[in-house]
Amino acid sequence: MRFPASTDRRTIVTRKHTLIYLLVSFCSLFLFISSASAQCKPVVYAFRHAEDKDVNLTSVGRQHAALYPSMVDGFGSANNYCPVGFVYSMYDTNPDGKPGTYNPYETAQPLALRACYVYWVALWNNEEVTFDGTFNPDTICTGALGAGNAVTPGMALGNGNKLYEFLEKTKQKNGDPPKQTAATGTQLVAELLSNASASGSLSSAIFWSSQGLPTLGAAIASGTVLPTKPPRNSVYVFEQQGMAFATTKLTYRQCFNIKVGGSKTPGGTTYWCSAGGNLPTTIENLPSLQGKICDTANLAMGCEVGP
């Protein structure tokens, strides 16, 4: 979820889809945010989209996407990173104006819903808004007040410039500029810094394509060199340092309670960090799939590097 800097904070960004994967009670989320240290560090997370077929996620990809709220919460809490209150995805339209891929957008949706709760509870906790029976996170974040309150990932910055795969480097095949104005790296960083100072400090998350992630990473933190095609389970974290962001370890991975090439049913207490990055194409009892973020260079108990 993303609130343009030029927009009143009571205005919800709208998009054409609303997907409710996760509802968190107001009280429990208030405790989560209140328990976060006042000195938490704002960060920017960058992820690849989940497992897909053509321009949409598979059933495994949708379940993978649904795990982002818990994975990010757990990882952020363990590292004293501020909760995610802003979620973006790569623009789902090609430079020529034709439909593009929806995979990053679909992957970002569950975390965007979580971010809505985080954002509004942070405002309330910071005494920037007052809630009543009809104006509260349970109505704002579910769209109960009407279609205009649908909560979805932002595919543009607050100035309206679109988050194309290669940002301002985007060109049509014939070399012409894209149909919509592309966001620049400088504009993106400025908005991410604004997010970091919002409502007592909040983090951002961005969902992207494999091909575009190196461009995105270099834009967020100058000098960052990401793999040409990062594994799907990659986790890139950029910590705020003054008026810029700096790259942290490049060895963070999403790990799951299922081993690629092993059982097709998730379970147990071991989380496997697949070197290939993809979850199995077929998973039985899919709702039992769980995930966490581990450092493959310094494995915590319960995390193992798998095939």
CA 258 to chain centroid? 23
d(CA 127, CA 148): 24
Q: Is the dihedral of CA 22, 24, 30, 33 positive or negative?
A: negative
Show pLDDT as tens, one digit a residue, over the chain (307 residues).
544 333 333 233 323 333 333 444 455 555 555 555 468 999 999 999 999 999 999 999 999 999 999 999 999 999 999 999 999 999 999 999 999 999 999 999 999 999 999 999 998 988 898 988 888 888 888 765 544 445 789 999 999 999 999 999 999 888 888 999 999 999 999 999 999 998 889 999 999 999 999 999 999 999 999 999 999 999 999 999 999 999 999 999 999 999 998 889 999 999 999 998 999 999 999 999 999 999 999 999 999 998 8
DSSP class of residue 174? T
C-beta of residue 73 within 8 angstroms of C-beta of residue 83: yes
Q: Where are the beta strands (DSSP E) in the chain?
A: 43-48, 52-53, 56-57, 84-89, 203-208, 236-241, 244-247, 252-256, 271-274, 291-295, 303-306
Q: Based on C-alpha coordinates, what's the Rg of the chain?
A: 18
What CATH architecture is 26-250?
3-Layer(aba) Sandwich (3.40)
C-beta of residue 187 within 8 angstroms of C-beta of residue 162: no
Contacts of 210 (CB under 8 A, 6+ apart): 48, 229, 230, 232
For 219-275, what is each residue's pLDDT tens digit? 999 999 999 999 999 999 999 999 999 999 999 999 999 999 888 999 999 999 999
Helix %, strand %, coil % for the chain, to 5? 30, 20, 50
d(CA 22, CA 276): 28
Mind giving me the DSSP string for 136-158?
Answer: SHHHHTTTTT-GGG----BSB-T
User: Can you give the residue ranges of every domain in the chain?
Assistant: 26-250, 254-307
Side-chain half-sphere exposure of 238, counting CA atoms within 13 A: 27
d(CA 88, CA 260): 29
The reported pTM is 0.88
Q: Which residues pair with 294 in a beta bridge?
A: 253
